[in-house]
Amino acid sequence: MIASIIIWSIKNRLLVLLISVLLSAAGVYSVRTIAVDALPDLSDVQVIIRTAYSGQAPQIVEDQITYPLSMAMLSVPGAEAVRGYSFFGDSYVYVVFSDNTDLYWARSRVLEYLNQVSDQLPPGVKPKLGPDATGVGWIYQYALKDTSGKHDLAELRSLQDWFLKYELQTVEGVSEVATLGGMVKQYQVAIDPDRLRGYYLTLKNVKQAIQESNMETSGSVLEIAEAEYMVRFKGYVKNVEDIGLTSVPTSRRRLSISSLLLDDIAKTIQIGPAMRRGIADLNGEGEVVGGIVVMRSGENALTTIHAVKEKIQQLRDSLPEGVELIETYDRSELIKRSIDTLSHRLLEEFVVVVLVCALFLMHFRSSLVILLSLPIGILTAFIVMRLQGINANIMSLGGIAIAIGAMVDASIVMIENVHKHAEKSDFLGENRIIAIQRAATEVGPALFFSLLIITLSFLPVFTLEAQEARLFTPLAYTKTYAMAAAAGLSITLVPALMVYMIRGQIKKETENPVNRWLISVYRPLISKALKQPVMIVLGAGVLLLSVIWPVMQLGSEFMPELDEGDFLYMPTTLPGLSVGKARELLQQTDRLIKTIPEVEMVFGKVGRAETATDPAPLTMLETVVQLKPRELWREGMTMEKLKKILDERVSIPSLSNAWLMPIRTRIDMQSTGINTPLGIKISGDDLQTIQQLGKKIEALLSHMEETQTVLSDRSAGARYIEVDIDRRSAAHYGLSVAQIEESASIAIGGQDIIYTTEGRERYPVNLRYPQNWRNSITKLNELPMVITEDTQVQLRDLADIRVVDGPPMIKSENGRLTGWVYITIKGSDIGRYVEKAKKMLHDNIKLPSGYTVSWSGQYQYMQRAQQRLSYVIPLTLFIIFILLYISFRSLIESLMVMVAVPLALIGGAWLLWALSFNFSIAVAVGFIALAGVAAEFGVIMIIYLREAIQRHQPKNQEELRQAVIDGAIMRVRPKIMTAAVIIIGLMPILSGSGAGSEVMQRIAAPMIGGMITAPLVSMLLIPVMYYMWYRRRL
């Protein structure tokens, strides 16, 4: 069948070329319109539920909101994990779904279950779904800075909230624009409790009066003089004066006046800042207002960022005088660097292919066959990528980069075979076409099968799951598509192009000095090998055993840290930090970072932005460190050195430093909840016990020399002022718990009663007691409780007030309370570190009943991937063996190829050791790619040996030996050409730098090392084994 396709393609070569042109045009269109990003989206399918419960402590938020929601979400179909976070005033519930779940189906099911649990939540509390975005959705950030001194933080915040935010949300692909920092304008009514008591009023009376002072309604229409007039009653509060003129009814039986003005009972009515849980700083120079553009899931990041920047450019003219919009993070720069890096590598591989072909074949038009067919194969892969929705990123383009060597191998073998036939026959006129047809059909079927084997060899990558699958599946898909395209083109376009291109005088192989030298070196080697076959086989066994030592020296990691070009500084502080102190720490660290010459800009935040995608406590600092271009760095400076310098420069006792990569960190945080590469989750029923276990683990791990930093959650380390209501006293005064709590809550913490309507802007009106009535424990004890007009007591008459320790935030997973231990290690050998740490913890810590400890972060991904590959790889090898048997119809020949494959991997293992690379999923992918190419080498060698034996028809061992030598020598030139293309083509990837180079180096290293041993195995061991097997048949 394959031979028939080759013959048809040669006869209809013009039609094949026209179809190829159409395919190329479709490929070019796909390249121009395909979605582009730096990395694959590694985020889980997840839906975030954010619930605001203003002024409430974490324990109350956990009991009344987070826990009921978490329990309800555990029943959602497809939900794999439910993580809860209870902060001061906010609840976040992350529902993580299984892979391949449609995001919008998941959101609809979560909404369905939210409706079922809504009656269990406090009155007035409304959970809201977060944006339809993922962990890599933070694509662009900016800061608003006033350089004129005319605009305060409240005005900048209003500009962001009511102008820029809504304008940017209209951009295609933008899911949300989150605000960070600044001050929200608030109308603050400070009620004088003495005046309340003097007029026999309660806070409830004042609250109701304020609520009734801010209304507008209509009075239908009136028809006057044949015209219709709509009636509108205006009553919105417009300013401080309007609030002061609010009428507060009094009790007629107590006073002679029926009402008072709010001005009469308020100590002050003023505009001030609302309480905040997030601060932004730029370069340590002072507070700014920030904006975060969150991209919708599945959108084209590069296109969306360009659209956002164009919109911002349009909006700059509308900004007030003196206000600057400063770009603080731009993902498009990383995307461009990533794509440029791999695009240059692909171009270099193209050049290498042409030069190698020209050098060994000494026929330029033959090189053009590869130069024309290779891009069409790659463009075909892009067509399928676009149709499947795979974006162009460092992993998907990397799949094409590592496939090029195997793609051109089929063309090289076929062209080289045509050259051999041209040497033996009259290569003119019809004889030329017949010779090309014979040469192509001779090796075409075997080449097609070998390319299918290479394609199938990537089956283990497709079986990966979760984050490792999302990382490497795009690479596997693109390599598979490229190889499938190469297989198809090798039996259609390549034969047709050979008819057009391979003509004229074809030089003999022996006329090329390079080929002559290679044959002169190889002939004595293979001759000696065939005279001592047992020694060669034993030597191969020794060589295989030698790989044990370097393998034992290799460490293990999930994947190397990607250099995104910028840093994310994420230190963690101890709980109980005030907003003012947090701001001071943020500005201090930002100033220190900015002193490093390689730093371009520092944009820091503490606390959380106004988005469900940022569940950060006030104790977490996040600073985006934008670095200058590499050419402006000091000589010899690297990312690792820079990280070390920064760590030494920013050395503050209360901070536990972590220098991370922005995209990867946000993905890890939303996937596992932990921002460091490694972490431990402690689960149980009591936060105090969890904290004690965390401290023990922290103390033990800190003594390990491999530990860089370790910090456990202080699950009960915050300070609470606990007001314990005395029920007997409450009953004595005829008061309910609800009445006391409502009055005390408004008096101490304040409550937003209404929102003013000022054009398109809305601002809260807050009611509370003046600060001097509530700024100490003594004052709280003496706090006047004006609950009813007849009950005027102090808070200490109704409750006991004391300071206690409590949780700064509460974390839960699948309904169980959890505490985390954050770990960063020296180096990157996560596997050995965890094994050593596990043993230490097992020997020194006895867990109480009902408590569990689990490792999380990259170790979790690594373990999952290793377990899956441990049984998928053997299964794949068995399937490849079946394919080999179908191709050869010989058990022994199939076994020869299978035996040669592990021997071919030896060079890869030794090169990994020489480069000090750890074993990772990227390395495993490199070995899988190498195994496919090694199998293909073996297949082609067997084909050549078969053909030589059929031609010689040996009758004794000497004739057999000569036949094997002739067959093996025929394979020298194509083998060296393929190995040269792969080694020279991948060397720039191995030695290069730039975005994504860390992962690609780990994939390229096994292939380059293997290309040193794989040709030796196929050129020596397979001929020897074939000779030993066939001589028994003589």
Q: Could you tell me the CA-to-CA distances from 134 to 141, 474, 612 in Å, in that order?
A: 16, 18, 11
How does residue 17 score in pLDDT terms, banded at 50, 70 and 90? confident
Given a cut of 70, is residue 509 above it in pLDDT? no
3-class SS of residue 287: strand
**Tell me: the pLDDT tens digits for 70-100?**
999 988 898 888 989 998 889 999 998 887 8
Confidence class of residue 293 from pLDDT cuts 50, 70 and 90? very high
Q: Is the pLDDT assigned to residue 402 strictly greater than 80?
A: no
pLDDT in tens, 448-480: 777 777 777 777 777 777 777 777 788 888 888
In this prediction, residue 254 has a pLDDT band, given cuts at 50, 70 and 90, of low
Q: Write down the pLDDT at residue 765.
A: 92
Annotate 219-237 with b (16+ C-beta within 10 A) or e (fewer).
Answer: eeeeeeeeeeeeeeeeeeb
Q: What is the mean pLDDT of residues 585-608?
A: 89
800 vs 721: CA distance, rounded Å: 10
Helices (H), 802-904: 830-844, 858-888, 891-904
Least confident of 145-154, 503-512, 854-863, 1017-1026: 503-512
pLDDT at 899: 78
State the DSSP H helix or E strand holding residue 324, giving kind and residue range, or none if neither: strand 323-330
H helix intervals, 570-651: 579-594, 639-649
At 506 the pLDDT is 66
Strands 799-806 and 45-52: unpaired
Residue 428 has pLDDT above 60, yes or no: no
| Mean per-residue pLDDT, 358-385 | 79
Sequence-ordered alpha helix ranges (H) in 52-168: 58-61, 67-73, 103-117, 153-159, 165-168
Yes or no: say if 109 and 76 are a contact pair by the CB < 8 Å rule: yes
> What amino acid occupies position 177?
V
The confidence score (pLDDT) of residue 310 equals 92
**Residue 427 pLDDT more than 60?**
no
Is the model's pLDDT at 963 over the cut of 90? no
pLDDT at 66: 92
For residue 255, which phi and psi values (nearest 5 degrees)? Answer: -125, 160
Tokens of 106: 């998941």
Up-side HSE of residue 624: CA atoms within 13 Å toward CB? Answer: 25
Structure confidence by residue, pLDDT tens digits, 168-180:
999 998 999 999 9
For residue 560, pLDDT over 80 is answered with: no
- Given a cut of 80, is residue 216 above it in pLDDT? yes
Q: State the pLDDT confidence band at 513, using cuts at 50, 70 and 90.
A: confident
What pLDDT was estimated at residue 251?
67
Indicate the pLDDT class of residue 504, thresholds 50, 70 and 90.
low
**pLDDT attached to residue 259:** 76
**711 bridge partner residues:** 822
Say which range, 238-247, 420-429, 507-516, 972-981, has the weakest mean pLDDT: 420-429
- Measured CA to CA, the distance from residue 975 to residue 1018 in angstroms comes to 9
Distances (CA, A) of 491 to 92, 451, 487, 690, 984: 57, 11, 7, 65, 26
CB 995 within 8 A of CB 334: yes
DSSP letter for each residue of 742-758: HHHHHHHH-EEEEEEEE
pLDDT at 675: 67
Residue range 121-126: mean pLDDT, rounded: 87
- Delineate the domains of the chain, giving CATH numbers in brackets: 1-33+362-506 (1.20.1640.10), 135-178+274-339+569-660 (3.30.70.1320), 185-273+719-806 (3.30.2090.10), 521-564+857-1034 (1.20.1640.10)
**Range in 73-87, 125-139, 332-346, 807-821 the model is least confident about:** 332-346
pLDDT averaged over every residue in the chain:
82
DSSP 667-710: HHHHHHS--SSEEEEEEES-HHHHHHHHHHHHHHHHTSTTEEEE
Residue bearing tokens 């008061």: 735
pLDDT (0 to 100) of residue 994: 64
CA angle, residues 361, 363, 365, in degrees to nearest 5: 130
Q: Distance between CA atoms of 894 and 882, rounded to whole angstroms?
A: 8
Could you give the CA distance from residue 514 to residue 100 in angstroms, rounded to a whole number? 53
pLDDT higher than 90, residue 880: no
Is 377 a residue whose pLDDT tops 60? Answer: yes
Q: Is 995:565 a contact under the CB 8 Å cutoff?
A: yes
